[in-house]
Amino acid sequence: MIIMDINDFRSWHTVIMLAIFIGIIVWAYSKKRTHAFDEAAHLPFEDDATHKATLKKEDIQ
pLDDT tens-place string over residues 12-47: 999 999 999 999 999 989 888 888 888 888 877 777
30 CB neighbour count, 10 Å cutoff: 10
* Predicted local distance difference test score (pLDDT) of residue 46: 75
- Check residue 55 and give its pLDDT: 65
- By residue count, the chain amounts to 61
What per-residue confidence (pLDDT) applies to 57? 66
First to last CA, the chain: 82
Q: Where are the domains of the chain?
A: 5-59
The whole-number pLDDT of residue 3 equals: 82
pTM: 0.58
Nearest to 28 by CA among 37, 16, 19, 18: 37
Report residue 61's pLDDT band, with 50, 70 and 90 as the boundaries. low
